[in-house]
Homo-oligomer: A and B are copies of this chain.
Amino acid sequence: MRRMTARPGNAHQARLLKLLRDGGPNSRAQLGDQVDLSRSKLAVEVDRLLETGLVVADGLAASRGGRRSHNIRLNPGLRFLGVDIGATSVDVAVTNAELETLGHINHPMDVREGPVAVFEQVLAMAAKLKASGLAEGFDGAGIGVPGPVRFPEGIPVAPPIMPGWDGFPVREALSQELGCPVMVDNDVNLMAMGEQHAGVARTVADFLCVKIGTGIGCGIVVGGEVYRGTTGSAGDIGHIQAVPDGRPCACGNRGCLEAHFSGAALARDATEAAQQGLSAELASRLETGGGLTAVDVAAAAAAGDATALDLIREGGNRTGQVIAGLVSFFNPGLVVIGGGVTGLGHTLLAAIRTQVYRQSLPLATGNLPIVLGELGPAAGVTGAARLISDHLFSPA
């Protein structure tokens, strides 16, 4: 299939494309119910979209009591590539234009190997997905990186955990390689967009999405739109001070949240506890595996290990304290917790909830759900697909 290059010609067309993306196939009449355009105008715009090839007619819709109508749907041949580069692994997925995941693969990889090596990996994974028959090419790609991004240009700026990426023209380079439009964003923002599109945040306009992985970040959604801040570093909550004069952090300060709780901190604490003989469970895992990760702690906790549970609770308290402050400040309608350590599950969630509900004022917490993300590792790639589709489905 020839790749699509068309873009909606006006706001109406953009609106229709987004309705079809979010609501699936629809008849003209159903679309008409949603957009407040006259039937004639609607017909014109739909015809134009059909001409561009972005949408296709597709069989008959169910009858609503009278003449049956033909369905309109986004071209089922359209393909988006969603890429989520984490600190320690890469996720790549293919979606159709309705952002349904058709294929998803994960590969461990250290982001510090630098953009060239990571790109090679990403392209290999994309090729693999193509080879398995899921796509012949891509109409657009979204990519998330674990650090701040100058959003309009798609260039990482001063990313602490991926120094080799500073200033690397990610958008431009990937666009060259893939031959399609590309948008770049912070991985946390993409997770927020993913949960907004297909997860727990579907109906909420203002929410926070806290991602606890190797580091800690927070996606901020205001009025349905991701807020990125003046320099693209909004949501960088890993270096908020959680413990006065606490542990030294890589950033040079002491007591940063990330130094006390994160995938990396948790692994280190668990190893220490195991070596000090505080937990037989952790010690045996340390011996078997040669090292401990957040996954081991989760498993130990699930097995009832008191030390592991304490570590999680302690971390949840720290995180909850910081989130409580953010809740007071931002007064969100929902807080989503996600990222690698969601395996820690309800122990973590309970600790966070306790802190937030205790420390923030009732007006802010009264009707505030604090929940785990629904999409897991798919949130990032779904958000990435959503990012590029938002771009492509906007007037040029």
Residues in chain A within 8 A of chain B (CB atoms): 148, 157-158, 160, 206, 218, 220, 222, 227-237, 239-241, 244, 251, 253, 321-322, 324-326, 328-333, 358-364, 366-368
Contact = CB atoms under 8 A, between A and B. Distances in A.
A39 B13 CA distance: 29
Copies in the complex: 2
| Residue of A234, A332, A333 contacting most chain B CB atoms (<10 Å) | A234
A328 B239 contact: yes
A363 B234 contact: no
B362 A241 contact: no
B227 A333 contact: no
B206 A366 contact: no
Contacts of A241: 321, 324-325, 359
A332 B362 contact: no
A127 to B, nearest CB: 35
B325 A240 contact: yes
A229 B251 contact: no
Nearest to A321: B241
A158 B363 contact: yes
A330 to B, nearest CB: 6
Contact of A325 (B220, B325, B359): B325
Contacts of A362: 158
Contacts of A321: 241
A184 to B, nearest CB: 16
A121 B77 CA distance: 69
A328 B325 CA distance: 12
A331 B233 contact: yes
Contact of A329 (B228, B329, B331): B329
27 contacts: A148-B363, A157-B363, A158-B362, A158-B363, A206-B230, A229-B332, A230-B331, A230-B332, A231-B331, A232-B331, A233-B328, A233-B363, A234-B329, A234-B330, A235-B329, A236-B329, A236-B364, A237-B328, A237-B329, A239-B361, A241-B321, A241-B359, A244-B244, A251-B361, A253-B358, A322-B325, A326-B329
Contacts of A333: 230
